[in-house]
Chain A
Amino acid sequence: MWILDAAAERGGIRFWGRGGESKRVAYTPPFLFTLEDPHLHRDMLDGLEDRFGLAPCRVRTIFSEEEGYAITASRKVAGLIEEQSGYSAKIYNLDLRPEQRFLAGKGLTTCAFPGEDRFATSFDRSLAMMEIGVADPPYRSRVVSRMAVDGKTITGSLPEMLQELATTIDDRNPDLILFPHADYWMPLLVSSAEELEILLRISRTGRYSRLSARSYWSYGRMVHREGALIPEGRCLIDSSRSFTYRESGIAGVLLASRMTGLAPNLTARLTPGTLISAYENYEAILRGIAVPFRKWDPEETRPIARLREADKGGMIFQPHPGVYDDVVQVDFTSMYPSIIVGQNLSPETVAGGGGGGFLASVLAPVLGLRLKTKTLKKEDGRYAGMDSLLKWMLVTSFGYTGYRNAKFGSIAVHEAITRQSREILIAAKECAEECGCRVLHGIVDSLWVAGGDIPRFVRETEAATGIATESEEYRWIAFLPMADGTGAYNRYFGRLTDGAMKIRGVAARRGDTPPYVRSFQEGIFSLLEQAECAAELDDRAGDVQELFSEAVSGLSSAAIADLVITRRVSRTEYRHRCIEGSAIRAYGMAGVAVEAGMEIGYVVRDGKRLIADPPWEATTADPAYYRVLLERAYEEVMPIFSWEISPSSKGGSS
């Protein structure tokens, strides 16, 4: 059976295939535990034996193999074992999804036939699909006035629309439903259908599992996850909110499912970090390695001086602000995962263990597949989704090594990776200089070089590091200054040899820039795009000035929708008055509850008095406030017109 979905039932698991085919297997997996000194806990062990049955077993971890016990009992019992042993018991395989354990234990996976290679570049992904939509705006409306199914509008009363939707689903029997803002609308649709006694089978069994809403910190920012109703037997993707779907499409969701052994219903909702964690868990079960429930192993004891030396992160060569001609950007492909695999980095190998490291060995096939999809997507756009998923999983595989609850992570691995990356970048810089190149900028896994024998530099660097690189050639590139006048690490723009502009870190790229300001700055870049070399940029100064004047004078007639500022709020209460706080209050007054981590849009009505309105209520905007935003976007680009011209480039301080 090609497994589309799975759900744990009492004493077993039900699997669903395409078209609604289903099969139940009896499965009650035990969890494992070890005790430092079992004799000290004889009474507890006897009690567990009498009550649940206790099977002595060998527990294999990535570090060692030791005597332990297998017990089929609840999570509560696991907690009691921990507490009664004075937190000396180490528990394994407790918080894994049973269907993942079952599949990995049998060498099977989801979205695949038995025996299929999980890392194949092409696989059967034919699914009966359907798209559902509610035309009303989510979050500020609890009323459904119009719906759409596969582009066909459904109107009428709510019972009529639900009945039509139910009939269409029954007739078409889709395997996968795409539904923008499904997580918001589903509870309303399902409860309304129940009240109206309409059999709405978005779930093939009529049952749903619930995912609770929560706000959490991720990579330094607060993120909000909407609660969700997850159907059984069918895959439902919230196409507006699913990161995996947005970044990698259905191909990515299904590939994530194949790699992790989790149903696409889940992989569409999980973050790349959770996906890489689930993938590592799957691989551990497949290899007979116990997955620790708690993170017990701390970093080694070390003198403070060594901690200072180790804790440095990625390498940066700060650029001199200026515009440079004929520059090549050389990027190492998946540098951090390549280091993990190439250097055999894993918690047990960093701790001094020999052999193939677990982390390195499980990431190797993912890296191998990424290198294939990266090549394939250049020829066939259908591989772009898979490539994007693998890119995200590999990016997070590095960060995840430093995550405190990572099952197979360790801060020592994290530090070893960044140490290696620094050494690689320094060696690459030296190699570039030996090849007569001038290194203009470098950050973590990229170098910007000009002049000299660049092909030789690339060839020798790839040979020395064993890591593939990709190059982009610029006709000219501008490295912008920071407030103190020194070069910014991540703000630059330039014209590539194919004529396209590459822009990073400026207003046009930032998510909170209102469309009007973004469009203005993009207009500037369209003008600069015409310059063939740095020397020609000055010719555009007058046009840019004119564009700015037009943008300022056009502010009063700008559409309100173009002035919406979109920001993710990290909190809902602010100690001091601010625009975000005012916007959150306005949302509250409009009956929309804002949670920390949510993205909200607002229009500033009065910048001085810090008053903002939700977009749907805004009728006026403060031109002075938006003029400041325009000025900032303008000033961000302006340094390129003031730098002195040198024969090959022009720069402020070089």
Chain B
Amino acid sequence: MEIRLAPYITLGTGTFAAIVAPEGEMLRLFTDHPELKRYLFLYISGNGSRLLTRAGDRSATFDVRRAFTEHQLLTILREAGHTIVFIEHDPTLFESGGRSMAAAIGKVIAEVSTGSLVILYTPAPDRFFGEMATYADRIITLAPETAPVQKQSIRAKRAGQATLEAF
């Protein structure tokens, strides 16, 4: 199983990928890859999810399991048998256990990824994400796509600014 996350970035079974990306970029994983429906896909969220309501529209078919504590996250990972496991990082889970717990979870994610593709996702990395990402095969940062800047518009903007300043 392989999916193309972005041009030149292909992820496959046996990979633990830690991804930092804007939410819109990550949503495309769900909207631009209808072939994902062919695989057993587990979405693991935390106490709250920034993506689930948008990623899980009416046509979505993936499985969901929510972890409300770091220990529940460990149980979910140990029981996960899906082809693709997507983890939406929730730093609030680690409030009590701290970094040692994050490291233990990172190790378990690495173990799970021997038979699956595991994506650990966050829009904003923190120290707990960093601790888990230590065990990742790949750490990927996706920048938001910006529209190509037109030289003409820059000139126009500059001209406008100059005019304002002149008066």
Contacts and interface: CB of A to CB of B under 8 A. Distances in A.
A292 to B, nearest CB: 9
A299 B42 CA distance: 13
B3 interface: no
Nearest to A296: B71
A654 interface: no
B61 interface: yes
B68 interface: yes
A298 B104 contact: no
**Which interface class (under 10, 10 to 19, 20 to 34, 35 or more) fits B?**
20 to 34
A286 to B, nearest CB: 26
Interface in B63-100: 63-69, 71-76, 79, 100
Contacts of A411: 66, 68
B62 A404 contact: no
B101 A87 contact: yes
A572 interface: no
26 contacts: A83-B104, A87-B71, A87-B104, A295-B68, A295-B71, A296-B69, A296-B72, A296-B74, A296-B75, A298-B65, A298-B73, A298-B75, A301-B63, A301-B64, A301-B65, A301-B79, A302-B63, A303-B61, A303-B63, A304-B52, A304-B56, A304-B60, A304-B61, A305-B60, A307-B56, A404-B68
Given A299-B66, A304-B60, A83 B47 contact: no
Contacts of A304: 43, 52, 56, 60-64
B43 A297 contact: no
A299 B73 CA distance: 10
A300 B79 CA distance: 11
A294 interface: yes
A305 B62 CA distance: 9
A301 B66 contact: no
Contact of A297 (B56, B62, B63, B72): B72
B60 A295 contact: no
A121 interface: no
Given A87-B74, A304-B43, A299 B65 contact: yes
A405 interface: yes
A298 B71 CA distance: 9
B42 A298 contact: no
- If over half of A's interface residues share one DSSP class (helix, strand or loop), that class is named, otherwise mixed; here it is loop
A11 interface: no
A303 B52 CA distance: 12
Interface string B25-45: 000000000000000001100
A39 interface: no
Contacts of B74: 87, 296
A578 B142 CA distance: 37
A284 B119 CA distance: 40
Interface in A298-337: 298-305, 307-308
Contacts, number: 63
Given A299-B65, A302-B64, 13 more contacts: A294-B69, A295-B72, A296-B75, A297-B75, A298-B73, A301-B63, A301-B65, A302-B65, A303-B61, A307-B56, A404-B68, A404-B69, A405-B69
Interface of B: 42-43, 47, 52, 56, 60-69, 71-76, 79, 100-101, 104, 107
Contacts of A308: 56
Contacts of B60: 304-305
Place the interface of chain A in its size category: 20 to 34
A317 to B, nearest CB: 25
A294 B71 contact: yes
Given A302-B63, A304-B62, A304-B64, A86 B72 contact: no
Contacts of B104: 83, 86-87
Contacts of B71: 87, 294-296
Contacts of A294: 69, 71
Interface in A245-303: 294-303
A404 B65 CA distance: 14
Contacts of B65: 298-302
Nearest to B105: A87
B7 to A, nearest CB: 28
Contacts of B69: 294-296, 404-405
6 shortest interchain CB distances as A-B pairs: A404-B68, A298-B72, A304-B56, A295-B69, A294-B71, A87-B104
Nearest to A87: B104
B54 to A, nearest CB: 12
A298 B75 CA distance: 7
A303 B62 contact: yes
A296 B66 CA distance: 12
A86 B104 CA distance: 6
B109 to A, nearest CB: 13
Which of A297, A299, A302, A304 counts the most B-chain CB atoms under 10 A from its CB? A304
